[in-house]
Chain A
Amino acid sequence: MTATDTVTAQARKITYRDAVREGLRAALLADPRVFLMGEDVGRYGGCFAVSRGLLAEFGPERIRDTPLSESGFVGAGIGAALGGMRPIVEVMTCNFSLLALDQIMNTAATLLHMSGGQFNVPIVIRMSTGGGKQLAAQHSHSLEGWYAHIPGITVVTPATIEDGYGMLATALGQPDPVLIFENQTLYNMEGELAADAGPVDLRRATIRREGRDVSILTYGASLHKALQAAGNLATAGIESEIVDLRVLRPLDDATIMASVARTHRVLIVDEGWRSGGISAEIASRIHEQAFYDLDRPVARLCTAEVPIPYARHLEEAALPQVDTIIAAVQTLVKP
């Protein structure tokens, strides 16, 4: 055992960005079929610096810069997956993924069905999502809820260091397309990554904080706002249970309903828009499956139904925030 091994055997302080990069490295090291491609992932090191250093380590065959052509390179990734490779395709932000929506929905998600079960498409598509960095309306939307509408794919939203690191390996092991939505505001988040961190499941929601008074169902960057709100609410005697949804398709109904059965009051915090969003789907399932456990109608806190503004104060006002979560919970629990 070397000195380096001893150090790495302990939990490391690490950013979410570095955890994602470590996940990519581990995947590239583990399986020669794995490669990364996307806009600026090579020489530039990735728009959010996630893939910095990977080109030098793994070479241009496995870290491939692409033209600005989402439909083209996502389609190429699908072809590679059909050809036996394990492609990781990075789409810079989910806003641009709409250019590749035809490839994702009509090809990747559909081919298994259209081929009578002959062709799985084991592609992993990573995208950044969300607002809060003053990148204006064409770079700041949250479209993971839209993608969760599509049968045939898995949609995951890693919100923690552990999930940022571990979801990729599990996704690469899936026979069918997995979309990973990394919230832009999480890349600088620091946390601990266990020395034995590894693949994590892609089926379960997780209770991040236990509480008896209200269930806050959320995911992505809103998870951390909810946790902070829960801390403040606890000083006022309100105990919030925080459910990190983690996977938006398929939704983990069992964990959600078990939490509802404990608290009887639900707030869904969703950075997507309210109308027709994933929050509406979750609320509907709760009414279908846990109606008789409810003591209040399900409440939702979503992003204002506007293109995300550029101005900082307007952008902050448009997104769910700690204080608006606190206010929503207080309304929900007061007699």
Chain B
Amino acid sequence: MPSLGADMEAGTLVQWRVAAGDTVARGDIVAEVDTDKGVIEIECFESGVVERLVVEPGAKVPVGTVLAEIRSTDQLPPHPTGGATAPSSAPAAAASVPASTAVPLEPPRPTPERRVRVSPLARKRAAEMGLDLSMVQGTGPGGAIQVADVERAEPKVGPPGPAQASPLDSMRRAIAAAMARSKREIPHYYLQTRIDMSQAQAWLRAQNQQRPIEQRLLPVVVLLKAVASALRDVPQLNGFWIDGEHRLADAIHVGFAIAMKGGGLLAPAIHDVDRRSCDELMADLRDLIPRARAGRLRSSEFTDGTITVTSLGDGGVESVLGVIYPPQVAIVGFGSIADQPWAEHGMVGVRPVITASLAADHRATDGHVGARFLDAVAHHLRAMENS
């Protein structure tokens, strides 16, 4: 069970898309997993032949649990312990994050494949309280959850009863956990700057005039492209803070915040934004947004983000100061593009202006780096007509 986010502890296998004996290649979708964030398509991170499906559909298992065993095509028949399975050892735990990211999204869990240890009494009490044991930290021997841990845990909101927590509740909890961790652990610093969008808008208009309506570009594509280009100039903001260490990512996968209808939020990754054309990015967004809202994202999209962009321009706000999604080290915010007075060359004119903001992890970078990054974003947006 891959980790599909820093806050994910367990997932429910919804269905297998492969059967024992099938040949699979890295990147193939092999299963669907239900998480706090909806149903996610799990991509395979090994190539080979499916030896055995270990987990049955319907089972909820902790992150790190072996889901299936795959025999590599260049490997001897498997060791009886299922050594061919990726997440069965500590080094492989990192590989349980799909391999397109060089940096693991979170530190390997100390005991990835072990069953969660819960005392019988604690399990009974949690069921009575309607408490999800995956939200409980065990303090007993070997981290076992005991009844005291259950009783310490936050009681379920709302009237008691056997009713299942709704997916929205669990997404809310996941957001709460990630954001609380972020604000607890990450010393944020904030910078913002106003950017003249005249050139970018002119470029967009010119581009869109040549396109049928369904292929027209939205301003957000330009913003994403500018962020990716700026990250090439200032790579320090593209990466992670893990185990007290700043690790740069070697690709630019931008997590794009998408609001869910009915509340909640996902930030699936758009891969290699710096290497994608604006048309390709637009196609990515047209594919991604409906899938995110339908709860059908792929595992790599959950785990691969190296920075997050949140654009609240549609809501009419002037600016947004974001909360970093751990273990990332930065989040870029954009407000709405609005006509504003703009002084330049001793003249005051009216220009379309956007406020770009940066919230960054002060453990990883300093304000000077952040300032250079925002300046680079502004530079790339103003230079759009040349691209």
**Interface segment, one of A9-17, A222-230, A273-281, A288-296:** A288-296
How far is it, in angstroms, between the C-alpha of A293 and the C-alpha of B119 when the chains are bound? 9
Most buried by B among A294, A295, A335: A295
A246 in the interface (beta carbon within 8 A): no
Within 8 A of B (CB), among A291-307: 291-296
Q: How many residues of A contact B (CB 8 A)?
A: 8
A139 in the interface (beta carbon within 8 A): no
Q: Once the chains bind, are A294 and B146 in contact (CB under 8 Å)? A: no
Q: Once the chains bind, are B121 and A295 in contact (CB under 8 Å)? A: yes
B252 to chain A, nearest CB (A): 45
Enumerate chain B residues within 8 angstroms of A296, measured Cβ to Cβ: 119, 140-141, 146
B147 in the interface (beta carbon within 8 A): yes
Of chain A, the residue at the smallest CB distance from B119 is A295
> Could you give 28 example pairs across A and B, Cβ below 8 Å?
A264-B121, A264-B147, A291-B120, A292-B120, A292-B121, A292-B123, A292-B124, A293-B120, A293-B121, A294-B119, A294-B120, A294-B121, A295-B119, A295-B120, A295-B121, A295-B122, A295-B140, A295-B146, A295-B147, A295-B148, A296-B119, A296-B140, A296-B141, A296-B146, A335-B139, A335-B140, A335-B146, A335-B148
Q: Is chain A's binding surface mostly helix, strand, loop or mixed? A: loop
Of chain B, the residue at the smallest CB distance from A261 is B121
A330 to chain B, nearest CB (A): 13
B137 to chain A, nearest CB (A): 12
Within 8 A of A (CB), among B104-141: 119-124, 139-141
Of chain A, the residue at the smallest CB distance from B150 is A295
* Chain A residues proximal to chain B, CB less than 8 Å: 264, 291-296, 335
How far is it, in angstroms, between the C-alpha of A322 and the C-alpha of B139 when the chains are bound? 28
Q: 13 other contacts beyond A292-B123, A294-B121, A335-B148, with CB at 8 A cut-off?
A: A264-B121, A292-B120, A292-B121, A294-B119, A295-B120, A295-B121, A295-B122, A295-B140, A295-B147, A296-B140, A296-B141, A335-B139, A335-B146
Enumerate chain B residues within 8 angstroms of A264, measured Cβ to Cβ: 121, 147
Of chain A, the residue at the smallest CB distance from B122 is A295
Q: How many residues of B contact A (CB 8 A)?
A: 12
Most buried by A among B119, B141, B147: B119
Enumerate chain A residues within 8 angstroms of B121, measured Cβ to Cβ: 264, 292-295
Query: A-facing mask of B138-168, CB < 8 A → 1, else 0?
Result: 0111000011100000000000000000000
Of chain A, the residue at the smallest CB distance from B148 is A335
Of chain A, the residue at the smallest CB distance from B145 is A295
Which are the 6 A-B pairs with shortest beta-carbon distances? A295-B121, A295-B119, A292-B124, A292-B120, A335-B139, A295-B147
Enumerate chain A residues within 8 angstroms of B140, measured Cβ to Cβ: 295-296, 335
Of chain A, the residue at the smallest CB distance from B127 is A292
Within 8 A of A (CB), among B233-271: none
How far is it, in angstroms, between the C-alpha of A296 and the C-alpha of B147 when the chains are bound? 10
Query: A-facing mask of B167-183, CB < 8 A → 1, else 0?
Result: 00000000000000000
Enumerate chain B residues within 8 angstroms of A293, measured Cβ to Cβ: 120-121
B162 to chain A, nearest CB (A): 17
How far is it, in angstroms, between the C-alpha of A291 and the C-alpha of B120 when the chains are bound? 6
Of chain B, the residue at the smallest CB distance from A296 is B119
How far is it, in angstroms, between the C-alpha of A291 and the C-alpha of B146 when the chains are bound? 14
Enumerate chain B residues within 8 angstroms of A295, measured Cβ to Cβ: 119-122, 140, 146-148
Of chain A, the residue at the smallest CB distance from B139 is A335
B126 to chain A, nearest CB (A): 12
Of chain B, the residue at the smallest CB distance from A287 is B120
How far is it, in angstroms, between the C-alpha of A295 and the C-alpha of B139 when the chains are bound? 12
Enumerate chain A residues within 8 angstroms of B122, measured Cβ to Cβ: 295
Enumerate chain A residues within 8 angstroms of B119, measured Cβ to Cβ: 294-296
Enumerate chain A residues within 8 angstroms of B148, measured Cβ to Cβ: 295, 335
Enumerate chain B residues within 8 angstroms of A291, measured Cβ to Cβ: 120
How far is it, in angstroms, between the C-alpha of A292 and the C-alpha of B120 when the chains are bound? 5
B116 to chain A, nearest CB (A): 15
Of chain A, the residue at the smallest CB distance from B140 is A335
How far is it, in angstroms, between the C-alpha of A294 and the C-alpha of B139 when the chains are bound? 16
A220 to chain B, nearest CB (A): 29
A335 to chain B, nearest CB (A): 5
